[in-house]
Amino acid sequence: MSADTPADDRTYSSDVAFTPAVKAIQLQKGSRVSYARMEHGGGWQTTVTPQLAEFLSGLDMFYLGTANAQGQPYIQYRGGSPGFLRVVDEQTLGFADFGGNRQYITLGNLSENPQAFIFLMDYANSQRVKLWGQASVVEGDAALEERLRDPAYPGKVERAILFKLAAWDVNCSQHIHQRFSQRQVAPLIEQLQERIADLEAELARLRSKPAAGNEH
Q: Which domains does the chain have, with CATH numbers?
A: 1-44 (no CATH), 45-171 (2.30.110.10)
pTM of the model: 0.78
Which residues, in sequence order, are CB contacts of 157 under 8 Å at separation 6+? 96, 97, 98, 145, 148, 149
Rounded distance between C-alpha atoms, residue 7 and residue 40, angstroms: 17
Rounded distance between C-alpha atoms, residue 136 and residue 124, angstroms: 30
Q: Which helix (H) or strand (E) holds 135?
A: strand 127-138
pLDDT tens per residue across all 216 residues of the chain: 344 445 556 899 999 999 999 999 999 999 999 999 999 998 899 999 999 999 999 899 999 999 999 999 999 999 888 999 999 999 999 999 988 788 999 999 999 999 999 999 876 666 889 999 999 999 999 999 999 998 888 778 999 999 999 999 987 555 555 565 667 667 777 777 788 887 788 888 888 877 665 555
Which residues, in sequence order, are CB contacts of 17 under 8 Å at separation 6+? 3, 130, 132, 167, 169
Beta bridge partners of 62: 78
Rounded to 5 degrees, what are φ and ψ at 185?
Answer: -85, -30
Largest CA-CA distance found in the chain, in angstroms, rounded: 96
